[in-house]
């Protein structure tokens, strides 16, 4: 376990005070015996996420308690057991908190501890930075927007407008709070709709210069990735401006990078592949297909036919 402590020290020291970041990524399966945990720093809180029961869970918790006690930057320690349905956050050290504002890329985001996900997926840090760097003067379509992290980045990057779709009104409400907390003059629109029943509305709201498609891995009642992702791609040309850019995201371990690229090629041949965004350095994957995949495409006005 000394390896775990040293790794956490290394990446904690690489973060700014008040920042949120992953500091240990066991889920990449690069560290034997630690494949079912991730550890994150959330401001002054250390968060341990356990995805499946492991024999060493009690030992890891004790190690992390010592790590928090020995570090002046940390005042609280929470555990989230994803293998228990609707499991609450366990506050091992510190008083329970409901809301917490943190920083990432010098922008502010609200985290909450009243449900499984705290409100910001930290493996997408580089994707949010990419949007910040590429959104100036753009109309941005943010599909499956959750708490509008991409819209916050677009606003900071000088976007003219963001249009945010998510089925959850609660997530969009938190997104509005995130946007209000950050500087910028971007216009924002919010639609709490089932995206698969709103493709015509999306077409009418276009064209867009930058489009983000970041669906959940599983949302049984409203989104089936294998069936519905291609439907969105097939409609994409109808809401794209000339030379529009897209982020095509997938977090399903059963879908490889090559599978995702083939799906785009077959369903949206007007899209030209540009790059595969790297993950934050701390996030090492034994198999790159298992983790988050964020692909950049550009609207090609002279697409080659499928062969």
In a domain, 306, yes or no: no
The model's pLDDT over 143-193, given as tens digits with 9 standing for 90+, comes to 999 999 999 999 999 999 999 999 999 999 999 999 999 999 999 999 999
CATH of the domain at 13: 3.30.750.80
In a domain, 195, yes or no: yes
In a domain, 105, yes or no: no
Residue the block writes with tokens 């089925």: 167
The model's pLDDT over 99-126, given as tens digits with 9 standing for 90+, comes to 999 999 999 999 999 888 899 999 999 9
In a domain, 37, yes or no: yes
Of 63, 97, 131, the residue that ends a domain is 97
pLDDT band at residue 65 using 50, 70 and 90 as cut-offs? very high
How far does the chain reach from its first CA to its final CA, in angstroms?
52
CATH of the domain at 149: 3.40.50.150
In a domain, 107, yes or no: no
One domain, residues 156 and 82 = no
Of 38, 64, 97, the residue that ends a domain is 97
Summarize the confidence of residues 193-208 as an average pLDDT. 94
Supply the range of the domain harboring residue 48: 2-97
Residue 214 has which token pair?
Answer: 């970041």
Summarize the confidence of residues 241-248 as an average pLDDT. 96
Total structural domains in the chain? 2
What's the pLDDT score for residue 303? 52
In a domain, 229, yes or no: yes
CA–CA gap between residue 137 and residue 96 (Å, rounded): 41
One domain, residues 144 and 244 = yes
One domain, residues 47 and 167 = no
One domain, residues 65 and 180 = no
Q: Are strands 161-165 and 139-143 parallel, antiparallel or unpaired?
A: parallel
Strand partners, 37: 50
One domain, residues 131 and 191 = yes
One domain, residues 208 and 264 = yes
In a domain, 78, yes or no: yes
pLDDT over 70 percentage in the chain = 96
Task: Name 140's Cβ contacts closer than 8 Å, sequence gap at least 6.
Answer: 131, 150, 151, 154, 159, 161, 162, 163, 208, 209, 210, 211, 212
One domain, residues 35 and 161 = no
Q: Are strands 37-42 and 20-25 parallel, antiparallel or unpaired?
A: antiparallel
In a domain, 307, yes or no: no
What's the pLDDT score for residue 307? 43
Report CA-CA distances (Å) from 249 to 94, 124, 254, 296: 36, 10, 14, 9
């Amino acid at each position: 376990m000394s390896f775990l402590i040293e790794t956490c020290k290394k990446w904690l020291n690489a973060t700014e005070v008040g920042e949120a970041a992953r500091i240990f990524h066991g889920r990449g399966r690069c560290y034997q015996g630690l494949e079912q945990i991730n550890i994150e720093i959330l401001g002054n809180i250390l968060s341990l996420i356990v995805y499946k029961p492991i024999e060493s869970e009690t030992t890891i918790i004790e190690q992390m308690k010592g790590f928090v006690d020995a570090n002046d930057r940390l005042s609280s320690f929470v555990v989230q057991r994803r293998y228990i349905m609707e499991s609450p956050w366990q506050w091992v050290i510190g008083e329970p908190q409901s809301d917490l504002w943190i920083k990432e890329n010098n922008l502010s985001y609200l985290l909450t501890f009243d449900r499984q996900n705290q409100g910001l997926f930290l493996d997408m840090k580089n994707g949010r930075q990419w949007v910040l760097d590429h959104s100036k003067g753009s109309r941005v379509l943010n599909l499956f927007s959750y708490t509008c992290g991409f819209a916050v980045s677009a606003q900071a990057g000088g976007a003219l407008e963001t249009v945010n779709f998510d089925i959850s009104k609660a997530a969009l409400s938190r997104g509005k709070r995130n946007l209000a907390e950050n500087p910028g003059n971007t216009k924002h629109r919010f639609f709490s709709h089932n995206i698969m029943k709103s493709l015509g509305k999306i077409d009418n709201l276009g064209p867009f210069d930058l489009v983000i498609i970041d669906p959940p891995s599983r949302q049984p009642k409203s989104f089936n990735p294998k069936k519905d992702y291609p439907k969105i791609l097939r409609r994409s040309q109808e809401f794209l401006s000339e030379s529009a850019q897209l982020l095509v995201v997938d977090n399903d371990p059963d879908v490889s990078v090559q599978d995702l690229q083939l799906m785009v090629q077959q369903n949206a041949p007007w899209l030209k592949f540009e790059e595969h965004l790297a993950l934050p350095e701390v996030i090492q994957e034994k198999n790159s297909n298992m983790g988050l995949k964020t692909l950049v495409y550009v609207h090609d006005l002279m697409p080659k036919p499928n062969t």
